[in-house]
Structure 1
Amino acid sequence: MMPDVSPWREPVPAAGTMGEPRGRGRFGEYGGQYAPESLVEACREVDEAFREARADPGFRGALAELLALHAGRPTPLTPARRLSQELGVRLYLKREDLTHTGSHKINNVLGQALLAARMGRRRLIAETGAGQHGVATATAAALLGLEATVFMGERDIERQALNVVRMRMLGAEVIPVTTGSRTLKDATSEAMRHWVGVTGDSHYCVGSVIGPDPYPWMVREFQRVIGDEARAQCAAELRTGVPDHVVACVGGGSNAAGTFAGFADTSARFVGVEAEGGAGAARGRPGVLHGCRSLFLQDDDGQIVEAHSIAAGLDYPGVGPEHAHLRDLGRARYVTVTDEEAVAAAVRLARTEGIVPALESAHALAWVIRAAGGGELPAGSTVLMTLSGRGDKDISTLKELV
């Protein structure tokens, strides 16, 4: 069992927290637009199109319709009754695993795909680790008549073979990335390099709250449907209307950012749960990668250190810039969970609630189990946890361990 890596601070529901970033996408000292000159104009075009689209009732209505009719929103808030009784807390699961394609990724991708079509782009480019963002991108492209090219690390292709088949069946081109660790970081690097040469007809559909401005806040805004729904559901379900704790797993951090955004002005404590081998927010240092300044795992010479996690979607050496800012503010706390704890949590949820979670989501649950058992979550506390995805994709990994 690993100790938590940062102390509690009083939550800071400061005015303007999780609003629009300052000029050039700044969240405190983080964010920005560290892009090659060849991408600056492309980023400007995305920023301009997004601002226009989010102010357009027609665009918002079209996205809401797609989220309802194609993605299956709203997702339910499920009380984990048996597990809650065992833990002595009231645990509620925001069920992003029940969306079409099986994870929260579809929320952001439908938004960006509609935006790309509005901009006249005919192709979507994406990176993927666990494969869920790739599947969502391929799905949206097929739905809207666009092409899709997905970059995926060779190692992730091997451990997420099911999702590779799904992407190809949906018509996407899946390009193996054989450099570096052959995981998510390298897939992201290759996708950005590719975008440089095709900005005229292609949109880079970034999968998390990373990248150059406007991507971190744009992705968060497309994902805040999770937090907004959960806020309304908690108001109807909980006596206080607001949970004591809001918990989500964090790789780049899009499902967590979207969930936190719905509760930014409340007293709920935010907890982001990272993989022990990919703890950018918990143990990272300021640096620049993939177009933004944030917290990244680095050696003494400032070189990026490779991340590791049994969950491919958490196998990233950093965290989105807004998460770095929330950590510095004390508004959110970031903790780590080991591979073994995550697997145990996945099995426990399956056997108490009949839900097999994605290994990414199981990290968040593992912290809830540990914190409840160790007294960090007082008896009777209410906990909202985003179950970001379902575990079908991880069966080949889990079958060797359970």
Structure 2
Amino acid sequence: MGDVATRAAAPRAMGVPGERGRFGDHGGRYVPESLVEACREVEEAFREAWADPGFRGELATLLAVHAGRPTPLTPAWRLSAELGVTLLLKREDLAHTGSHKINNVLGQALLAARMGRTRLIAETGAGQHGVATATAAALLGLEATVFMGERDVERQALNVFRMRMLGAEVVPVRAGTRTLKDATSEAMRHWVGVAGSAHYCVGSVIGPSPYPYMVREFQRVIGDEARRQCAAALPSAVPDHVVACVGGGSNAAGTFAGFADTPARLWGVEAEGGAGAALGRPGVLHGFRSLFLQDDDGQIREAHSIAAGLDYPGVGPEHAHLRDLGRARYVTVDDGEVTAAAVRLARAEGIVPALESAHAVAWVIRAAGSGELPAGSTVLLTLSGRGDKDVATLMEVL
């Protein structure tokens, strides 16, 4: 994908979705009849709220005084010198609750209150979205129920305790792979019976329309801030490359939204065992059409990642569309590269990243070494979360 192709594709990328919430061939609303009206209500309420300066002002205030925005842009001086590139870290790990998830959740929690809903429902993998949901619910006086795969409950015990301390009910999901996919399925099933009183707070740019677009818009604060910060920090104003990890893909979508209309090359980094964008085929899951890992019979394959938040067999529909356009490229790294990258960033910069974020770091290290990132390049990397939650996992493998 050369610069000419990038510039040509950019105007079509990351706008308002088309008819029926589609991004090209992807997206849509594939839900039971019992949820069609609930999705329509969410869409109508979001579009009305997003056009309301009062709503956006209230959200901006909460992001500033509660979540700690704007998050800084940190030069990775030592690692940059080692790699031969200028690496800038967008520090979502410094947002309240420890990740980018709070941006989306505060927006959806305010929307739920505006709609008269009294409870938030959420799914979570690594637990960061669950913690953010429990936090927003406590802040706004709402109840919260968080569905989490039993395997993730075990490996993310710290975040489970945090959710419960904040007053949320955590429901272990014992079906299927007992990870994020099954937690999402169970949360959607639960929503069917309580849609009149509860709002399903989807944690990524997945799910039926309007969720992929709505979550991207709530997360685009990352990219908009980074765009302004890069303009102040870089002679060129825009980095050569923008990199973020991708599971469902919300931190990447929010980051890319700030740079989609620039010549910057966009890179989404997936887990080798959960590479929906890089290796998936078209299919439907959790109410939307996108790219999913599938077997020869079209059944969804189990995903694997050392990072619970990337343990998902597909990718958000807008990422599938960006791949189709050639506007973004999606690459993979393996678990060994991820743990090595987490250690290297910790020792070079004094930052312990979430294992999800370490996927992006791992690819930058590899690409700088191979020349795919040419010497002297400027690279913006969104550090989506901090690594406290992953210490137990790292202790087992290092």
Q: What TM-score comes out, normalization by structure 1 length?
A: 0.98
Question: Alignment partner for residue 303 of structure 1, among 299, 308, 321?
Answer: 299
CA offsets per residue over residues 166-217 of structure 1, 9 Å max, x none?
A: 0000000000000000000000000000000000000000000000000000
2:371 maps to amino acid: G
The reply on whether 1:258 has 2:266 as its aligned counterpart is no
Deviation at 1:8, TM superposition (A): 6.6
The reply on whether 1:316 has 2:312 as its aligned counterpart is yes
Q: For 1:3-402, what aligned pairs fall within 5 Å after superposition?
A: 10-12=5-7, 13-402=9-398
Distance 2:371 2:10 in 1: 28
Distance 2:318 2:373 in 1: 25
Deviation at 1:15, TM superposition (A): 1.9
**Secondary structure of the structure 1 residue equivalent to 2:194:** coil
**Secondary structure of the structure 1 residue equivalent to 2:263:** coil
Deviation at 1:16, TM superposition (A): 3.9
Distance 1:193 1:350 in 2: 40
CA offsets per residue over residues 218-239 of structure 1, 9 Å max, x none?
A: 0000000000000000000000
Deviation at 1:336, TM superposition (A): 0.3
Q: 5+ unaligned residues in a row in structure 1: which ranges?
A: 1-6
RMSD of the alignment, in Å? 0.8
Distance 2:23 2:242 in 1: 21
**Secondary structure of the structure 2 residue equivalent to 1:399:** helix
Distance 1:108 1:16 in 2: 24
Q: What TM-score comes out, normalization by structure 2 length?
A: 0.99
1:127 maps to amino acid: E
Distance 1:275 1:53 in 2: 35
CA offsets per residue over residues 118-151 of structure 1, 9 Å max, x none?
A: 0000000000000000000000000000000000
1:343 maps to amino acid: T
2:324 maps to amino acid: D
2:131 maps to amino acid: V
Contact (CA 8 Å) 2:245, 2:356: kept in 1 or not? yes
2:350 maps to amino acid: G
1:48 maps to amino acid: E
Contact (CA 8 Å) 1:153, 1:182: kept in 2 or not? yes
**Secondary structure of the structure 2 residue equivalent to 1:150:** strand
CA offsets per residue over residues 297-341 of structure 1, 9 Å max, x none?
A: 000110000000000000000000000000010000000000000
Distance 2:30 2:205 in 1: 15
Distance 1:121 1:392 in 2: 32
Greater than 4 Å deviation, 4+ residue runs: none
1:51 maps to amino acid: R
% identity of equivalent residues? 84
Distance 1:317 1:8 in 2: 29
- Worse-superposed segment, 314-323 or 7-16: 7-16
1:308 maps to amino acid: H
Question: How many aligned positions are there?
Answer: 396
Contact (CA 8 Å) 1:109, 1:140: kept in 2 or not? yes
1:399 maps to amino acid: M
Distance 1:218 1:370 in 2: 33
Q: 1:359 to 1:182 in 2, by over 3 A?
A: same
2:238 maps to amino acid: V
Distance 1:377 1:125 in 2: 41
**Secondary structure of the structure 1 residue equivalent to 2:212:** helix
2:165 maps to amino acid: M
1:287 maps to amino acid: G
Distance 1:35 1:216 in 2: 14
Distance 2:221 2:214 in 1: 12
Deviation at 1:368, TM superposition (A): 0.1
CA offsets per residue over residues 273-307 of structure 1, 9 Å max, x none?
A: 00000000000000000000000000011000000
Q: 5+ unaligned residues in a row in structure 2: which ranges?
A: none
Contact (CA 8 Å) 1:227, 1:259: kept in 2 or not? yes
1:313 maps to amino acid: G
Distance 2:69 2:38 in 1: 31
